[in-house]
Chains A and B, each alone.
Chain A
Amino acid sequence: MTQTHDKTVESRPTVSLDMRRMILTNGVPILFLVLSITMALVAGLNITFLLNEVVTRLGRNSLLVLSLLIPVTAGMGLNFSIVIGAMAGQAAAIAVTYWRITGVQGFLLACLLSTPIAAIAGWLAGNVLNRAKGREMITSMILGFFANGIYQLIFLFLVGPIIPLKDPAMLLPQGIGVRNTVDLINISQALDKIWRPVIGGVRIPVVTLLVSAGMCVLIGFLLKTKIGQNLRAVGQDMHIAEVMGIKVDKTRIIAMILSTVIAGWGQLIFLQNIGTLNTYNSHEQVGMFSIAALLVGGASTRRATIWHAIAGVILFHTLFVVSPLAGQRLFGVPQIGEYFRVFVAYGIIAVALALHAWQGRQVRRQEIKEAMLTE
């Protein structure tokens, strides 16, 4: 092997090329950065207010967004069924509220409790998705809706007559079914208020942010282990991974279990921050908003990193905070801003999915071309 060949393989990019590539690969986050700044200026927002909101939301939402990373790595696309994990978290939150276990203990117990529920749900979801290879995303989305039906069945009709929960304050007037809102007084802010210094007018929920950071480290660690390598291999090509002796179905199920469990914890962090549980609504938008945030951060359906997740949460939620105010300022109609952010959430997912499909075809076309060139 001669030197000449190595050079062609490893081209050394120049600085200007680097810049261009950076802008190209980070087009989406840059666009949203510009959009957020413009809207913030239009809305004439107080910077401290904005920072407070964003930091709070970073703590509140990071874990949910991080829960999406592993299925992407395993090639299963965006896991819309993290709502199932969120439901597991809510079930646990309801339980500790009923048992009146307070503070950090209550929160930790809820996490502990949500884990087996989420793990079983994740195992089931993984099995379902293994039967729908190639259309995991739509299946996970429908799976989320389906699970929502089961969740409602349990909490509207089975709690009371079958599941013994006897606190009238938590039950609907007729004694069957959990109330629409549950005050999570016991675990409210349990994590946030441990240590919350104010720096430059911004309150920082240090422990919550540390938990998110810890999860980032854990996921980073996981991807450097044997199971991480298997996940990546399966994500690239199931067929090759199978031929090389990796148990593809099992690996994909593990990915779903991990994702669902992390989402359960994420929902608990979300709930302790909010302080109240909308029994039948809190989880509904979780999948969509987390996915939109991840995509705004520059991730795709095939590649998502921790940095995409963090940047995405910050950008998406900045937009979320400023757009109604910008709508009010610009058109005198705040709803325009609200609908705009709904549009952003849906639109970014639509665009990402379209790109995913389109790129998939380009790759295949390229492969065919290469195969023909070598003939």
Chain B
Amino acid sequence: MMPRLKQTVEHIGVPRLIIAGFLAIIFVIAYLTDMSVPQLITDSLVRVGMNGILVLAMVPTISCGVGLNFGLPVGVLSGLVGALISMERGLAGFPGLLAAIVFAVPIAVVVGYLYALLLESVKGQEMMVGTYVGFSTVAVMCIFWLMAPFKNPELIWAIGGKGLRFTLTLGNHFGKVLNNFAVFQLFGVKISGGLLGFFLLFCLLIYLFYRTKLGIAMVAAGANPVFARSAGIDVRQMKAVGVVLSTVLAAVGIIIYAQSYGFLQLYMAPLMMAFPAVAAILIGGASLQKATISNVIIGTILFQTLLTTALPVTSRVIQGDISEVARLIISNGMILYALTRPTGGK
């Protein structure tokens, strides 16, 4: 009995068990303090749909052997540019959202490819270089936002007429179009079919990609580069595919995030974007070498539910907002855990 239990624990993973246990406690407290549990679940599901694709963006870089994509802001910025072009044209509703994605993807492909070339030349230090490439790109783009040739008065500062605003309201554009699409109630929980469906659609697309010849080659290149080379696979190219795919997902991810949030945040806002996504996929059970779609789904649900419920529930017990602190400790603790686990061969 005991060894069986131990095996189950190992299979699920200690950190995941702790977080799931923590969540259970939170829900029990919520129930006992007469909070609306369905409301908590509703909010959590929105956050899951909002962040899901950003977390999904971690999968291709992990499986192609580059590791966690700390350079996520590179893709996020591509997405922001796409969204801005769509808004500058005055597009709204679904066409606006679609246009944002259509404009963002080619930018992300180009930028992602350049980023992949850089990462290739710094093999072994991809995560660290990625972090700071992401940071410096954010800083460069800050200068760009100030000088960019956007004319739509909704986007630029009211005074001076130059430079984009810090936060742009999406209400008149594509704000919440997915959130408000195909909404239905289930046991008092409001579910946005549009938002969650879009996330699941992307999960399915990535799952199918991993069953194509290209996808299988990419996984092989990441799992064992020498094996891949001996099987006639161009390892460099596969890494580029992974990085580009991740960058594209990040671009789409931020657009979905923004439409759900209702605001587009520029300047330093994308700086730390990578860390919650990294933490989520690690909580879902991924390692630096291996990640699956189920890691994404489980991790996003656990992490986002925790963040969403921690604030309202704990504020009943403890004074002050502990959720920000909890986010810092849990997400970084999770990344530390992954970084300090022994890895085979490396």
Asked whether any CB of A lies within 8 Å of a CB of B in the complex, the reply is yes
Interface residues of A (CB under 8 A from B): 128, 131-132, 134-135, 137-139, 141-143, 145-146, 148-150, 152-153, 156-157, 172, 174, 176-177, 331, 333, 335-336, 339-340, 342-343, 346-347, 349-350, 353-354, 356-358, 360-361
Known A142-B339, A333-B146, A335-B146: A350·B136 in contact at CB below 8 Å = yes
Report the minimum CB–CB distance from B24 to chain A (whole Å): 22
Cα of A264 to Cα of B325 in the assembled complex, Å: 23
Question: Of A146, A152, A174, A342, which contacts B139 at CB under 8 A?
Answer: A342
Give which listed residue, A146, A339, A353, contacts B129 with CB less than 8 A: A353
B124, B125, B139, B275: the one contacting A346 at CB < 8 Å is B139
Q: A176-B320, A333-B146, A346-B139 are in contact. Are A139 and B336 (CB under 8 A)?
A: yes
Interface string of B306-346 (1 = CB under 8 A from A): 00000000000011101011111100110110011110001
Interfacial chain A residues near B143, Cβ < 8 Å: 336, 339-340, 343
Main secondary structure of the interface of B (DSSP, over half): helix
Least Cβ–Cβ distance between B237 and chain A, in angstroms: 19
Answer whether A357 and B129 are a contact pair too, CB < 8 Å, given A176-B319, A339-B143. Answer: yes
Where the two chains meet, the residues of B that have a C-beta atom closer than 8 Å to any C-beta of A are 70, 118, 121-125, 127-129, 131-133, 135-136, 138-140, 142-143, 146-147, 162-163, 275, 318-320, 322, 324-329, 332-333, 335-336, 339-342, 346
A176 to chain B: closest CB distance in Å? 6
Q: Which of A177, A339, A350, A361 contacts B124 (CB 8 A)?
A: A361
Shortest B312–chain A CB gap in Å is 17
Q: 26 A-B residue contacts at CB 8 Å? A: A132-B340, A135-B125, A145-B275, A145-B328, A149-B333, A152-B324, A156-B320, A157-B325, A176-B320, A331-B147, A333-B146, A335-B142, A336-B143, A336-B146, A346-B135, A346-B136, A349-B132, A349-B135, A350-B135, A353-B125, A354-B118, A356-B125, A357-B121, A358-B122, A360-B125, A361-B121
| Given A142-B339, A340-B143, A349-B132, residue A149 in contact with residue B124 (CB < 8 A) | no
CB distance from B138 to the nearest CB of A (A): 8
B346 partner, pick from A134, A172, A340, A357, beta carbons under 8 A: A134
- The CA of A331 and the CA of B133, in the complex, are separated in Å by 25
Contact of A353 with B140 at beta-carbon distance under 8 Å, contacts A146-B336, A149-B332, A157-B318 already known: no
Q: Is the interface of A mostly helix, strand, loop or mixed?
A: helix
CA distance in complex: A128, B341 (Å): 10
How many Å lie between the Cα of A73 and that of B335 in the bound state? 26
Q: How far is the CA of A137 from the CA of B125 in the complex (A)?
A: 9
B69 CB → nearest A CB, Å: 13
The reply to whether A347 and B320 contact each other, CB–CB distance below 8 Å, is no
Closest to B70 in A: A138
Interface pairs A-B: 3 shortest CB-CB: A149-B328, A357-B125, A343-B139
Q: Do the beta carbons of B139 and A131 come within 8 Å of each other? A: no
Least Cβ distance of B150 to chain A in Å? 15
Name which residue of chain B comes closest to A174, CB basis: B319
- What CA separation (Å) do A23 and B325 show in the bound complex? 47
Tell me if B139 and A350 are in contact (CB < 8 A).
Answer: no
Let me know if B129 and A148 touch, CB within 8 A. no
State A360–B329 Cα separation when bound (angstroms): 33
Q: In the complex, are the beta carbons of A347 and B332 less than 8 A apart?
A: no
Contacts of B335 in A (CB 8 A): 142, 146
A153–B142 CB distance below 8 A: no
Kindly provide the distance from the CB of A12 to the nearest chain B CB, expressed in whole angstroms: 35
- Measured CB to CB, the closest approach of chain B to A352, in angstroms, equals 9
A143 to B333, CA, bound (A): 8
Q: A138-B128, A157-B322 are in contact. Are A148 and B339 (CB under 8 A)?
A: no
Question: Are A350 and B329 also in contact (CB < 8 A) when A131-B340, A157-B322, A336-B146 are?
Answer: no
Contacts A343-B139, A358-B122 given; indicate if A350 touches B127 (C-beta within 8 A). Answer: no
Q: Which residues of A contact B322 (CB under 8 A)?
A: 153, 156-157
Question: A138 and B131 in contact (CB under 8 A), knowing A146-B336, A174-B319?
Answer: yes
Q: How far is the CA of A184 from the CA of B2 in the complex (A)?
A: 56
Query: In the assembled complex, how far is the CB of residue A228 from the closest CB belonging to chain B, in whole angstroms?
Result: 27
* Chain A positions within 8 Å of B342 at CB level: 131
- Asked whether, in the complex, the Cβ of B329 is within 8 Å of the Cβ of A150, the reply is yes
Query: Does A353 lie within 8 Å of B318, measured CB to CB?
Result: no
Residues of chain A lying within 8 A (CB to CB) of residue B325 = 149, 152-153, 156-157
Contact status of A353 and B332, CB under 8 A, knowing A138-B339, A156-B320, A333-B163: no
> Do residues B128 and A339 form an inter-chain contact, with CB atoms below 8 A?
no
Most buried by B among A150, A333, A357: A357
